[in-house]
Chains A and B, each alone.
Chain A
Amino acid sequence: MKRRDFLAGLAGSFALPRAALAQVDPLDPIVRAVTGGAPVRKGKVTLVLPQLADNGNSVPIRITVDSPMTEADHVRSIHLYSERNPVPNMANFYLGPRAGKAEINSRVRLAGSQRVTAVAKLSDGSFWYDAAPIVVTLSACLDES
């Protein structure tokens, strides 16, 4: 880790970044690329993150969507967004009725404390989201091994 990152991290661990306190607008331009401006409602989606991450390089994440996953009513895709990563759209997952269950588990990189948002697109064209805050701590020692 570089010294300036370490110092920045140190500062970050004492005060939540301003972005983490601000209300995330799920209709920001990046999300709009997926929704095409359609409304995104809170609900149906559950995003589970630890409240505190030991290390931002690998944070467990679980996204579930309340859906019967039938031919007529299922989740088409799940889109994952970070408000502090250099690449805000962390991943897109495409599923369908053959999934049987709308749940994805993975591990993500998070560049600091922030809110993470998951947006789901359903087969009826509606969009739903959930967001979760997380505090990401940095390691105490320099490591240039």
Chain B
Amino acid sequence: MRRARARLALAAAALAAGVVLAQERAIPPGELKSGSVFLGSDLRALQNDDFANPGMLWVERGERLWSELAGKKTLACASCHKDTSMRGVAASYPKIDKASGKLVNLEDRINLCRTGRMDAEPLRYESEELLALTAYVARQSLGLPIATRIDGAARAHFEAGRAAYHLRRGQMNLSCAHCHDAQWGKRLLSETISQGHPNAYPAYRMEWQTIGSLQRRIRACLSGIRAEMLPYGSPEYLDLELYLAWRAQGLPIETPGVRR
């Protein structure tokens, strides 16, 4: 316990100095494994099947929504983002929104564009439209490594996210780290515990029989350990998303992933 505390203090000091030590990573970069590695061959094949991957239904819908006019200014996403590809964009989220100084994820960014530039209503979290647009944008970063920044204003969010990740919660008194750092690769009933990476989201889960956001997946974990689920868009989820992205730094984006 004392040693753990000392290690935390050391880590905090290193962070304050602007250095993230390699040994702070519970899973070294060379051992990072996407959730698809822990799937059966059928679901892995389904994810890689550009046609039959059911998540592609939402990607296609997102593509249509991209050029659909909305809001008082009757603009579409495509009105501003004319010939510019969104390739690489998803790999950098969550990130600090320059205008507000707040940490935002890809969903928030899409809604900031709607409210700020298009004068349109924000899309409800986990709505079909927001999932479709998010999946469409993220799909364009297929194969690109996650490359989120945790310096500057993002640092405090990273710290909060790391604390959230290691916080014991719920009736089972487990933190994220207990499963996804310490026990990954081992069996939990019929399943193999994954490393808990965000690189396939929004993903199509067989459990949901639909596509869902990373926050929905986090909520599923919280429900699994019988912990309180916070509402969608809670700052704690965003901080956690940033920490998860940092943990998965370098893993290629697979959106829309297929998961159990």
Contact = CB atoms under 8 A, between A and B. Distances in A.
Q: State if A and B touch, Cβ cutoff 8 Å.
A: yes
Interface in B192-225: 206-209, 212, 216-217, 219-225
B226 interface: yes
A51 B206 CA distance: 18
Interface stretch (B4-12, B17-25, B38-46, B144-152): B38-46
B174 to A, nearest CB: 11
Interface stretch (A18-26, A84-92, A135-143): A135-143
B11 to A, nearest CB: 29
A144 B224 CA distance: 8
A131 B136 CA distance: 40
Interface stretch (B70-78, B156-164, B183-191): B183-191
B217 A145 contact: yes
Contacts of A138: 189-190
A57 to B, nearest CB: 5
B14 interface: no
Contact of B191 (A10, A50, A140): A140
Given A138-B190, A139-B260, 20 more contacts: A1-B207, A54-B39, A54-B42, A54-B206, A57-B206, A57-B207, A60-B46, A138-B189, A139-B190, A140-B188, A140-B224, A143-B207, A143-B220, A143-B223, A144-B220, A144-B223, A145-B208, A145-B217, A145-B219, A145-B222
Interface of A: 1, 10, 13, 50, 52, 54-55, 57-58, 60, 137-145
Chain B: interface size category: 20 to 34
Please list the 9 inter-chain residue pairs (A to B) with the smallest Cβ-Cβ separation, ordered nearest first: A141-B224, A137-B190, A55-B206, A145-B219, A145-B220, A140-B189, A140-B188, A140-B191, A143-B220
Nearest to A137: B190
Contact of B189 (A13, A50, A52, A60): A13
Contacts, number: 63
A55 B42 CA distance: 11
A60 to B, nearest CB: 5
27 contacts: A54-B39, A54-B40, A54-B42, A54-B260, A55-B260, A57-B209, A58-B209, A60-B42, A138-B190, A139-B190, A139-B191, A139-B207, A140-B189, A140-B190, A140-B191, A140-B224, A141-B223, A141-B224, A141-B225, A142-B224, A143-B223, A143-B224, A145-B208, A145-B212, A145-B216, A145-B217, A145-B223
Contacts of B191: 137, 139-140
A50 B43 CA distance: 11
